Amino acid sequence: MPTPIEAYRELCARVDAFFARVEARHGGEMRCAAGCDDCCHARLSVTGVEAAVIAAHVAAMAPEARAHVASLAARPVADASRPRCAALDDDGRCTIYDARPLVCRSHGVPIRLRAPGTLPVVQACRLNFTALGPEAADADCVLDQQTLSATLLTIDRLHAGETGGEVGGRVELADLLR
């Protein structure tokens, strides 16, 4: 049986493969590319298992890179209406890209969302699927947010059990990177 960290890394690989499939089939409708940071204007919190993976990634960086990441995370939020992610570099690139959280890995693809008491809706980044809308994507190119969140919560619960962490607890990314 895989450890929670291994299970989380496997989930990340599956989401990355899903993103690649959507991009292969619907690339003409997607604007996601290095340097596009439209989805990176939010202050994020991450689960305990995500925080562990990110912390290990940052710890493995060269000292200068770690200092750079910490300095970015320590910057005050200049525009409250459009805050930037604590990991976002000035060139619009993610400084922790290889360890980015699941929300970042899945952003841009069509996502099925279910609010309690409502019918599911399919949404995507406002820059993607502008011609026909994200609902026009192939059925196997729509990510189910409820399933993804439940899977992440299960892995996080296992991680919390192993580490004595808080089940369902969140860590501010900026605090983690500082």
What confidence category does residue 115 fall into, taking pLDDT thresholds of 50, 70 and 90?
Answer: confident
Structure tokens at 11: 């989930």
pTM of the model: 0.94
Tell me which residue has tokens 């200068």.
64
Q: Which of 124, 101, 104 is nearest to 47 (CA)?
A: 101
Query: Distance between CA atoms of 140 and 14, rounded to whole angstroms?
Result: 13
Helix (H) or strand (E) holding 163: helix 145-163
Query: Residue 83, exposed/middle/buried by CB under 10 A (0-12, 13-18, 19+)?
Result: middle
34 has pLDDT over 90: no
Q: Determine the residue type at 20.
A: A
Over range 78-95, report the average pLDDT: 92
Domain count, the chain: 1
Q: What is the mean pLDDT of the chain?
A: 95
Distance CA 6, CA 2 (A): 6
Positive or negative, the Cα torsion across 29, 30, 36, 41? positive
Query: Nearest to residue 80, comparing CAs of 40, 41, 125, 126?
Result: 41
Torsion-angle region of residue 35: left (phi > 0), alpha (psi -120 to 50) or beta? left
Encode pLDDT of 121-173 as tens digits: 999 999 999 999 999 999 999 999 999 999 999 999 999 999 999 988 999 99
In this predicted structure, what is the pLDDT of residue 78?
Answer: 82
Query: What span, in angstroms and rounded, lies between the C-alpha atoms of 26 and 138?
Result: 9
Residue type, 132: L
Q: Please check whether residue 177 is in contact with residue 70, taking contact to mean a CB–CB distance below 8 angstroms.
A: yes
Domain carrying residue 141: 4-177
pLDDT classification of 97: cutoffs 50, 70, 90: very high
What's the mean pLDDT in 43-72?
97
Query: What pLDDT score was predicted for residue 112?
Result: 97
Residue pair 43/174 in contact (Cβ under 8 Å)? The answer is: yes
- Angle 46-47-52 from CA coordinates, rounded to 5°: 95
